[in-house]
Amino acid sequence: MCIGVATVARSSAQQYVRGTIGSLLHGLHEEERRSIYLMPFIAHTKPKDHPIYHEPWLAVVSNRILEYDVSDEDRSRLEQFEEGHHFRNKSMYDYGYLLQKCHETGASWITMVEDDVLARAGWYTEARHALERTRLKESDTQWLYLRMFYTEGLLGWNSEEWVRYLGWSLVSFLVLLAVLVGVRIKSPRLQRSLSNLNVIVLCFIALPAFIVLYFMAGRISMQPMAPGIHKMDRFGCCSQGFIFPRAIVPRLIDRTRKAMHEDYYIDMLLERWADAENLKRYVLVPSMLQHVGAKSSKGWGYDQSARTTWNFGFEDH
């Protein structure tokens, strides 16, 4: 497995990438570490601008410290992106560049991790088992990724599914009504207790109140995702970590190059491309990563979004 970690310097003294790389490697057995090709990517046209560039530990833990080795034309374009603060364009270029370099290692799995996350203990063992189970079900050209992080904020009661919610509410009403009427018919002793008024109260007041409370409690509380592998073709967020099968990566690299001047974030690009190509997407529960970056790499204006990108279930593990 090649693990690529693209990192850019934060404006504050806090450089989350130290904790990111440390958590990815923490607790690995010797055999597991040998099976990983760790490639931090200093995503600056002037690598010395990143505080960790000359820190001795980086060279010790890395298989390769990646820098830009590009044409003069591409370097000029990257410098323009940096000077103009065109973060989306540059991040798209960087993603494709790191994917390509990881693919060149010959690794069977290409893992892309952002530089402001922490990995859960035992993540690598669980990830390998999950990948092998997924491979047994799907050809590597039929699915795009195993998601390493998701936020529960998008997994609530989604308006797109209102018809299903309404349908189950009506089914609950009809089942309750049928049970009450059936019991009253078969049990003369309960006919007085189950008067028409009581049936009306139960069906039209008590049941709707229960349904409202059910929805108010939230989907994550009432219908939590069980541990294991799940399809997540919708409502997946964000781009903190993905594991791609090698077979799909060349097509993905080509798509990122085409999208370099489009107004996309990485996760938006992945989801739209997967929808267009009919590629399945999976997630491992509980989340393998936690987002800890309160200071966004995109600069001013994105910090509030960064602070609220979180996985609550991760904290139980």
**Residues 54-100 pLDDT 10s:** 999 999 999 999 999 999 999 999 999 999 888 889 999 999 999 99
- As given in the structure block, the two tokens for residue 122 are 């035992």
Residues 6 or more apart from 247 whose CB is under 8 A from it?
139, 140, 141
Asked if pLDDT for residue 299 goes beyond 60, the answer is: no
Please give the average per-residue pLDDT across 33-42, as a whole number: 98
Q: How far apart are CA 2 and CA 102, in angstroms?
A: 6
% pLDDT > 70, the chain: 95
Q: Please give the single-letter amino acid code of residue 186.
A: K
| CB neighbour class for 165 (10 Å; exposed up to 12, middle 13-18, buried from 19) | middle
pLDDT at 303 over 60: no
Q: Which residues pair with 102 in a beta bridge?
A: none
Burial class (CB in 10 A: 0-12, 13-18, 19+), 233: middle
Distance CA 4, CA 312 (A): 25
> What's the pLDDT at 254?
95
Residues present in the chain in total = 317
Q: Is the distance from CB of 157 to CB of 219 less than 8 angstroms?
A: yes
CA 281, chain centre distance (Å): 10
How many CA atoms lie less than 13 Å away from 5 in the CB half-sphere? 29
H or E element, residue 7 = strand 2-7
| pLDDT mean over 195-223 | 90
